[in-house]
Amino acid sequence: MATTRIPAASMLDLRDAVAGDHPWILALAEVLFADLGDYREILGDWLITPRAEVLVASDAAGPLGFAIVAPRPRIGFRRRVGAELVAIAVIERARRNGVGARLVHEAERRAIRFGACEIRLHTAQGNIAGQDFFTGCGFRPRRALPIFYPSGVRALEFCIALPGR
């Protein structure tokens, strides 16, 4: 589970996304992940698939960040259920306040709920801040993937084991 500091009492609201959140999520992803591929198109599919859980963190001023987590059936020799943290992002002005950690923590809770034994994610090899964030959350690098993002940017795969499996 997440090892980084998670602010307890705050004005942060964490909830499931509704259709009205989708344009905001896509606009943010399109800008933040522009060097990886067409994230408007990539996340467009994830937002409408019923198997994905889309989380939004917001305060009184509006949305601050989102995360998408989805089951990944039958991984490994034991054919266990895994989970994929498909994307996570926080708007620039809200960063380093624990919003990302809260989203990861909730994604872990959701993954445990749908029976996952671990969460896997990918980030660009050059995204050092992202890697520091995930490491701080307890994820560990597993392997490099030369072919992953549509743009050809190299990816690193991270994972975290979940309790109870």
Residues binding ligand COA (CB under 6 A):
4-5, 32, 87-90, 95-101, 123, 127, 129-130, 132-133, 136
Please enumerate in sequence order all residues whose Cβ is within 8 A of that of 79, keeping only pairs 6 or more positions apart, or say none. none
CB of 87 to ligand COA, least distance (A): 6
Which residue's beta carbon is nearest to the bound ligand COA?
Answer: 100
User: Which one, 118 or 149, has the nearer CB to ligand COA?
Assistant: 149
Of 82 and 100, nearer to ligand COA (C-beta) is 100
- The nearer residue to ligand COA, 31 or 165, going by C-beta atoms, is 31
Choice between 58 and 127, CB closer to ligand COA: 127
Contacts of 71 (CB under 8 A, 6+ apart): 51, 81, 82, 83, 84, 111, 114, 115, 116
Closest approach, Cβ 64 to ligand COA, in A, equals 8
Residue in 159, 162, 164 with CA at minimum distance from that of residue 84: 159
Backbone angles phi, psi at 159, to 5 degrees: -150, 160
Q: Dihedral sign, CA of 7, 10, 12, 14? A: positive
Instruction: Please report how close the Cβ of residue 78 comes to ligand COA at its closest, in angstroms.
Output: 28
